[in-house]
Amino acid sequence: MSNEANKQVVQKLFEYVSANNVDGAVGTLTDDCIWTVPGRPERLALAGPMDKKAITALFGTIGGAMPTGLKIKAKSFICEDDWVAVEATSTGQVVNGRTYQNQYHFAMKIRDGKIAQVNEYCDTLNIKEVLIDP
């Protein structure tokens, strides 16, 4: 696939997450996709590698915490071969009354028009403080 086509796959994922469309978001992933957030799972449940089943559950949890969706906006892309690197920001209204905002760097590997690997870098302490331990 072209760099532009790979970029569009990532954009589609962000659109689905922003619309709180779990099925659509999961549909952009390969069946063997691995999504990794750095950290230790004993300190933050979503840290470490997640398979597609765990990713689906996470997207559902996000939707429950932010019924109007987690709005993700890409700021910049770098595409090379089957990799897409993207800087992004997010914002969402949490059911606990707080506003969640974060900044990200994603490195995503695209295979056959779907996302096969995600390495997500963000402020995990912010996740814990706003979403898990408010």
Q: What is the pTM of this model?
A: 0.93
Query: Would you write out the chain's pLDDT as a tens digit for each of its 134 residues?
Result: 899 999 999 999 999 999 999 999 999 999 999 999 998 888 888 899 999 999 999 999 888 899 998 999 999 999 999 999 999 999 999 998 999 999 999 999 999 999 999 999 999 888 888 887 75
Phi, psi of 118 (to 5 degrees): -130, 130
| HSE of 13, CA atoms in CB hemisphere, 13 A | 25
Question: Rounded to 5 degrees, what are φ and ψ at 41?
Answer: -55, -30
3-132 maps to CATH 3.10.450.50: yes
Specify the pLDDT at position 134: 59
Q: What are phi and psi of 72, to 5 degrees?
A: -110, 130
Token pair 């796959």 is found at 9
